[in-house]
């Protein structure tokens, strides 16, 4: 038997073993998901965050198996910046940058942490995260709960040195609940200041339905003031950090005239994140709705913006399969993000998408 034949047999044996391991972890994932469904949604989420933090320290190979294939390198350049690959985890899942180091093992090329506010805040009263398992939707009334910019920025700085080259971290910025709308620009600038030396891009969140008055900041006058304040902070560094705005799906419900598109085009941002959650209700509470019901509104926003603007777009909302992801890229999206689908479809979704592009 030749050495080449032996090598071929060894490779086949190795692949077979890896497939068997992946199958076992797939069964384990389905079992764990059913257990998680028995828990209150936010409790299950916190336990997941804790488990990932632990596994990335003591057994990262386990994460690679759960994620399908592990590190996925399909470089994509946007804003003159190379991304490990074009699939990211959307804001809201890792609010406090606790599991950033685990994400490359699941095939992600970037993450959007946050929303981050200047000062720590608890958010809205619990329960504030709800599932509709049958329709694969999430309803959240979180209210920008996070540990505050200073603590989270320090965590990001520590993580950066341990991440693969070109894995990118975006920072989603919000305002504190008790900050008046007229003073909101100061909050956005303060968070940007904390992350100047470690963020790869900023996302200005003016579209969450869970903070009273926040969506009023989508008006061009208020939005311009916020963007200008953040840009002023960026002038204090020699780093080029793109600034994006995250808009609501309802922002594009009505037909917009030429003046609207001229104003949006003139806004000095490098791109848009389309879209945030739908404004909805759950048991009488105002919530953000994501998952299957957000698919069409998100695609409509992508389509109408690509027809009228020449800015890069991160498409997010209702991306639940490789086929849907492929369609978003064909529609003109530069990068993709998901969150709800990771809860329902499983940890290998990013790798599955990349294999099918």
Residues in CB range of 219: below 8 A, 6 or more apart: none
pTM of the predicted model, to two decimals? 0.92
The first and second tokens of residue 222, run together, are 């208020």
Average of per-residue pLDDT values in the chain: 92
CA distance 249 to 350: 24
Q: Is the confidence at residue 7, as pLDDT, over 50?
A: no
189-232, pLDDT tens digit by residue? 999 999 999 999 999 999 999 999 999 999 999 999 999 999 99
250-267, pLDDT tens digit by residue? 999 888 889 999 999 999
Give the pLDDT of residue 254.
Answer: 82
What confidence tier does 31 reach under pLDDT thresholds 50, 70, 90? confident
Q: Is the confidence at residue 82, as pLDDT, over 80?
A: yes
Give the pLDDT of residue 202.
Answer: 99
The crossing angle, in degrees rounded to 10, of helices 322-330 and 295-308 is: 20
Q: For the sheet with 278-282, list strands across it.
A: 129-132, 137-140, 285-291, 278-282
Give the pLDDT of residue 15.
Answer: 44
Q: What is the mean pLDDT of residues 315-328?
A: 98
Give the pLDDT of residue 248.
Answer: 97
Q: What is the mean pLDDT of residues 325-330?
A: 98
- Per-residue exposure over 139-167, b if at least 16 CB sit within 10 Å of its own CB, e if not: bbbbbbbbbbbeebbebbeebbeebeebb
Active site residue 265: no
Give the pLDDT of residue 272.
Answer: 99
41-75, pLDDT tens digit by residue? 999 999 999 999 999 999 888 887 777 666 778 99
Residues in CB range of 229: below 8 A, 6 or more apart: 185, 186, 188, 189
What confidence tier does 282 reach under pLDDT thresholds 50, 70, 90? very high
Give the pLDDT of residue 229.
Answer: 99
339-355, pLDDT tens digit by residue? 999 999 999 999 999 99
Q: Is the confidence at residue 109, as pLDDT, over 70?
A: yes
What confidence tier does 2 reach under pLDDT thresholds 50, 70, 90? low
CB 289 within 8 A of CB 137: yes
- Choose the catalytic residue: 115, 207, 208, 290: 208
């Amino acid at each position: 038997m030749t050495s080449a034949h032996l090598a071929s047999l060894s490779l086949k044996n190795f692949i077979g073993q890896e497939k068997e391991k992946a199958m076992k972890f797939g069964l384990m994932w389905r079992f764990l998901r059913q257990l998680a469904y028995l828990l209150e949604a936010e409790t299950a989420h916190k336990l997941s965050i804790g488990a990932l933090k632990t596994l990335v320290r003591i057994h990262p190979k386990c994460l690679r198996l759960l994620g399908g294939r592990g590190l996925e390198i399909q470089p994509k350049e946007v804003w003159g910046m190379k991304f490990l690959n074009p699939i990211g985890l959307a804001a809201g899942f890792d609010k406090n940058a606790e599991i950033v180091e685990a994400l490359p093992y699941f095939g992600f090329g970037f993450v959007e942490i946050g929303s981050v506010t200047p000062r720590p805040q608890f958010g809205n009263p619990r329960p504030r995260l709800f599932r509709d398992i049958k329709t694969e939707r999430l309803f959240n009334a979180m209210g920008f709960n996070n540990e505050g910019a200073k603590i989270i920025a320090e965590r990001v700085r520590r993580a950066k040195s341990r991440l693969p080259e070109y894995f990118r971290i975006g920072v989603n910025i919000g305002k504190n609940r008790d900050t008046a709308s007229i003073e909101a620009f100061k909050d956005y600038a303060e968070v940007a200041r904390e992350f100047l030396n470690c963020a790869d891009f900023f996302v200005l969140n003016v579209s969450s339905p869970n903070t009273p008055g926040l969506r009023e900041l989508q008006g061009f006058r208020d939005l311009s003031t916020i963007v200008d304040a953040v840009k002023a902070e960026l002038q204090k560094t020699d780093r080029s950090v793109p600034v994006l705005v995250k808009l609501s799906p309802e922002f594009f419900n009505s037909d917009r005239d030429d003046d609207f598109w001229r104003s949006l085009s003139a806004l000095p941002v490098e791109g848009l994140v389309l879209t945030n959650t739908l404004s909805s209700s759950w048991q009488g509470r105002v919530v953000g709705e994501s998952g299957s019901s957000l698919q069409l509104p998100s695609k409509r926003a992508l389509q109408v913006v690509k027809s009228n603007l020449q800015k890069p777009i991160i498409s997010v909302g209702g991306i639940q399969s490789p086929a849907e992801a492929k369609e978003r890229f064909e529609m003109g999206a530069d990068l993709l993000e998901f969150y709800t689908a990771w809860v329902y479809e499983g940890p290998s979704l990013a790798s599955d998408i990349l294999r099918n592009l």
